[in-house]
Chain A
Amino acid sequence: MNGTEARLARIRGRALAKTHNARTIAALASNPGCARRAVMDAAGVDKPRIAAYAGFPAPFGQSRFALARGNAFEAQVKANGAAELLTLLREHLGLPIPQAHYDDLGEVGGNPSLDLRHARTKALLARAAASRGDAGTMFDHPLLRLQVGGRYAFLEPDLIAFQLHGRFHVVEIKSFAVIDGQADGDKVAAAAIQSAVYVLALRDALAEQHIPAEAVSHETILVCPKDFSSRPAAAAIDVRKQLTVLRRQLSRIARIDDLLDLLPAGLTFDLDPDGEGVPRRSPADLAAAIRQVDAAYVPECLSTCEMCYFCREEARGCTAALGRAAREELGGVEHVATVLRLAGAAGTPGAPGGTVASGTAGTPDAPDLAEAAELLRRAARLRAEALHTDAPRAGTPGREAG
């Protein structure tokens, strides 16, 4: 255990390290500017637990209906030697009829050990790569690994397909619908970056056996229910952009030391559990520790990070909490209070228009606030003026609506 790992272990405390999976790795790209998140992820901190204990449980949950639908759909397309999937692959990859091999890597000789499965996955893939297509077509439940910040994460793609004279294709099975050829762009994006994680891991696995990266296609195959039915449809997704994003984020994680150096030596998120594992640390104390690491909260975090409610509370009164666009439009000024002071407090309810605005209130302290102040004062003046224009050109009066 080198210095960095020891440091991360101390930060994590006695809790078990959260192992990464494709989703958490993909999530690294969602707010790379956030030191708090970077440190917690690198240390394998159980963010949901920490957030909940600090009094801000994550707003995420999943409906068991969605879960059931997802599992059922995957089971359906993989049933009977992945018969439905094979039909799709024959269309999309032009698989010749003889290539109908199906290998279940879910366990090895009745043994579900991850290491065994990983070893066997590598063996079968290498054999397929060396063969002429007669040694494997579909590999179900393959097990890959990817190094994330010094630790290995085991990854389980839905399926890997091998195409004669061609390449390995990562197949991702999702249960959101593709209706008239289109699906929810955010869900597809999530699937794309997860698939990219598998492509990276797959290339690593093959590289160990001196098989070039090109053997893994950057076109992954997304399988979804078609329209309103449960019949599967496939679409190819080019994940080249996602691959560059991931490489970038993984290399940042590897450079976590730069962040750690900025943190107090004793920092830990340990809950100090007693014999029964009941935490003895006070939530307030934990919260204080969390605040030692800077966060970069933006409202987008609300859908991507388990710490979001904690950080949002912390960010109250910051323009960032109003959204990236608002912060930009407010001249990049950090705090709402500053904004209002610079704006000359005009526009606050009841405040008379121009007088206050044009007044000397809010003389900017830092030079770089001068321009923002100018902009905000003008905005405040215009707003106040408009709000106090007596006759807005109202056509039809309220009730019998215009």
Chain B
Amino acid sequence: MSTLTSLARAVAVAAGTAQRTCTVRHVHVGARPLVFVPLALAGEAGAPLAAMAGADPQAPTLLVVAEPRDRDQRFAFAADLAAVVLRYVEGYLAAEEDTPGREQATRYADAPQLLVPNPAGIAFTRLLGRSTRFRRTEGPYAVPASVPLLGRWLTFFAERAESPASSLMLAATDMLAAHWATGQSPVEDLNLGALLGWIDPPPGMSGAQAAAMAEDPVRCPPAGPATDPTFDNEVLDQRMLAVRTARLAGDGRAYERARAALAEALATQLRPTWALMWRAVALLRGLPGGEHVRARWDADKDAFTWHARHVAAGGPPQPRRDGAVAAARRLAGLERVQEMVAAQRAFDDPLVMAEHRLAGEAFAGTVTAAEPDRVDRGGPRAVLRPRITVETGDEPRADRGATFTSPARPGQQARIVAVTAAGGRTRIVLELRGGMGRSLTPQPGSVPAVGESVSYAAFGDGYQPAPAFPAPEDTPWTHGGPPAPYVPSDEEAREDWS
């Protein structure tokens, strides 16, 4: 959040509809995303109750666990879900492409994308992955081979969802809230129906009215995984009881009837969210994609390729938790990615850049003077060091010596030489290096010309190399020493799923 987005919220209140906080889309939306809407049984850890899943808005697959406390039925659910998810994922294992910049390296030409309604949906996916990926496929407590495989893929998606650069798994509320500001609070934005109500209210309704309507759990069932308590108490409980009763009575027909009635009851809770999900997808597709989105999606394709090949090569499932080295390495990666994405968003999107300008981390203005051919002969050899003067109405934190970067010329460094403020305007003299070719005269257009309107930021979207970490087996005594090598344990395999 920033003053700019908060102002947008205020405007939304007055306007009665959500306001954009981005001019472009900063996430990748695939051509065939897999939408996954899970429901969980209240009170139990990751106990699936039902789900709607599929890549075709017209043909969702409905999965139901008639008796969620029955271990076998839960694994049956996992197997059914695996059938949907794995078939979808395998669809991306066909076409490959060369990996640019790497010799003889190929990767898959596209990657799957998993969309859930909200962050809780991601958390549930992680739990489901955790509870299935260690299962054994033979011996005691055996499950179908697809179950642990599903667990590994769900875990993969959920872990990618932690990276701000990844679009492999996204929550609809996150995506929408990142591009629009509503007239309500972030807490209330977690309600997908209310959020969409603000962004895209039904004709003849204000965003506020649409949001209010979406808060009525009877008319608009919550987007899960938690179900509405009154649904549990007044509907679900009776339906489940009927199923159990029919089974105890050993009456096959009554059992089928009761099961169908339960499925229908759950479907009523899932269908509205299913529709909302595809509306969200359509809204986001309506925005033009930011310039760096594709590069980030390429990184997602690499990650997908790596994991697919890891699985194919018989690699072990993801451990329960990161070891010392893995954790440190992952943190370093996340930190680098986070800075990179923040910069890329700003470079792609003037509205995002505006937030940095307001915060004094960037400025935009007009070039009032330029010495494109200036050469610095102070050093051992002469170097091209053009200078330009930019006049801006912004109030940047621009200290002498600080280095800035321009979205228009990301390869070029601009060092601040002088800053003079007068009458609400600030004059900033910048010395440029790089991105102008080899010779002592700059390539045409590589130095901003007088009159050109430019923007500069105190951050660049440049790539920093990953820091070096010890190998896991060299974990030092300060961090508990080398970890015991991972061996899947019986306990993990049999861990009863209450």
Contact = CB atoms under 8 A, between A and B. Distances in A.
Are A and B interaction partners?
Answer: yes
A385 B15 contact: no
A329 B6 contact: yes
B29 interface: yes
A206 B43 CA distance: 35
A130 B13 CA distance: 64
Contacts of B29: 401
Contact of B15 (A177, A337, A343, A348): A348
Interface in B2-53: 2-11, 13-15, 19-20, 23-25, 28-31, 41-46
Given A180-B321, A392-B349, A326 B43 contact: no
Interface string B347-386: 1111101100110000000000000000000000000000
Interface string A178-200: 01110000000000000000000
Given A325-B6, A389-B350, A63 B232 contact: yes
A225 interface: yes
Contacts of A249: none
A228 B495 contact: yes
Given A229-B496, A386-B353, A65 B43 contact: yes
A308 B230 CA distance: 19
A319 interface: yes
B89 interface: no
Contacts of A375: 3
A228 B46 contact: yes
B2 to A, nearest CB: 6
Given A229-B495, A383-B8, A63 B188 contact: no
B131 A63 contact: no
Given A65-B42, A228-B46, A339-B7, A394 B187 contact: no
B188 A379 contact: no
Nearest to A313: B212
Contacts of A395: 288-294, 348
Nearest to B498: A230
A336 interface: yes
A339 B10 contact: yes
B197 interface: no
Interface residues of B, number: 75
Given A61-B229, A64-B237, A401-B25, A180 B498 contact: no
Nearest to A318: B13
Given A64-B232, A68-B43, A228-B46, A398 B288 contact: yes
A69 B43 contact: yes
A171 to B, nearest CB: 20
Contacts of B23: 386-387, 389, 392
A400 to B, nearest CB: 7
A317 interface: yes
A382 B495 contact: no
B46 A347 contact: no
B10 A336 contact: yes
A215 B284 CA distance: 60
Contact of A63 (B183, B233, B354, B497): B233
B13 A387 contact: no
Contacts of B25: 398, 401-402
Nearest to B281: A401
Interface string B86-129: 00000000000000000000000000000000000000000100
A52 to B, nearest CB: 14
B51 to A, nearest CB: 17
Contact of B297 (A227, A347, A402): A402
B448 interface: no
B125 to A, nearest CB: 14
B7 A63 contact: no
A48 to B, nearest CB: 14
A380 interface: yes
B111 to A, nearest CB: 13
A340 B289 contact: no
B8 A225 contact: no
B219 interface: no
Contacts of B7: 330, 339, 343, 347, 376, 379-380, 383
Nearest to A327: B6
Contacts of B8: 347, 383
Contacts of B42: 63, 65-66, 69
Contacts of B321: 180-181
B289 A379 contact: no
Nearest to B23: A392
A126 interface: no
Contacts of A61: 228-230, 233
Contacts of B1: 325-326, 329
A264 interface: no
Given A300-B187, A330-B3, A393 B495 contact: no
A331 B14 CA distance: 18
Nearest to A389: B350
Contacts of A319: 10
A124 interface: no
Given A339-B7, A392-B24, A401-B31, A65 B237 contact: yes
Given A61-B229, A400-B31, A299 B10 contact: no
B291 to A, nearest CB: 4
22 contacts: A69-B44, A180-B320, A225-B498, A228-B46, A228-B498, A303-B187, A322-B6, A329-B3, A330-B7, A330-B10, A347-B8, A349-B19, A379-B7, A379-B358, A383-B8, A385-B350, A386-B351, A386-B353, A387-B351, A389-B23, A395-B291, A396-B289
* 9 nearest A-B pairs in the assembled complex, by CB-CB distance: A402-B289, A177-B45, A66-B43, A69-B43, A61-B229, A63-B42, A395-B291, A394-B288, A299-B185
Given A325-B6, A383-B8, 11 more contacts: A64-B237, A229-B496, A230-B496, A299-B185, A299-B188, A325-B1, A349-B15, A392-B288, A393-B24, A398-B289, A401-B31
Interface of A: 59, 61-70, 175-177, 179-181, 225, 227-231, 299-300, 302-303, 317, 319, 321-323, 325-326, 329-331, 336-337, 339-340, 343, 347-349, 375-376, 378-380, 382-383, 385-387, 389, 392-402
